[in-house]
Amino acid sequence: MQIIEGAGRWTAPVGAANDWVEHLRVPDLSVGTYCIPAGGLDDQSPHTEDEIYVVTAGRARIVTPDGAAEVCPGSVIFVPAGEEHRFDEVTEDLALLVVFGPAYGSRAPDRRAG
């Protein structure tokens, strides 16, 4: 067992537009916190792993090719691997608990090869 203190808690980005902190990584999943300040831009690219977001603070809208939805504390969002997605219209500092399966980046092509 492991208790992850502070996961999902808002942290103001320092020196970057957004803040990503990975709290736990094992082969089959990883857990982290992603924070976007009010009025901020989400600049992420699609991931190679399935992803679950749990909104712990703030308000925004998530946009995918299939549509858009307002999110607020308690919202749980599933984004399948490879799906374009971003948060926009961040009206309150947004804190997201993020779970990747398998671990974040583990399916990404090895950039050292070739």
Residue 107 included in any domain: no
What is residue 114's predicted lDDT score, i.e. its pLDDT?
A: 41
Residue 114 included in any domain: no
Residue 80 included in any domain: yes
Residue 76 included in any domain: yes
Residue 8 included in any domain: no
Domain total in the chain? 1
Residue 43 included in any domain: yes
pTM for the model: 0.90
DSSP code for 22: E
pLDDT in tens, 43-93: 888 999 999 999 999 999 999 999 999 999 999 999 999 999 999 999 999
Write out the residue range of the structural domain in which residue 94 sits: 23-101
What residues are paired with 34 via a beta bridge? 20, 96
Whether the Cβ atoms of residue 110 and residue 31 lie closer than 8 Å to each other: no
Residue 10 included in any domain: no
CATH number for the domain that contains residue 30: 2.60.120.10
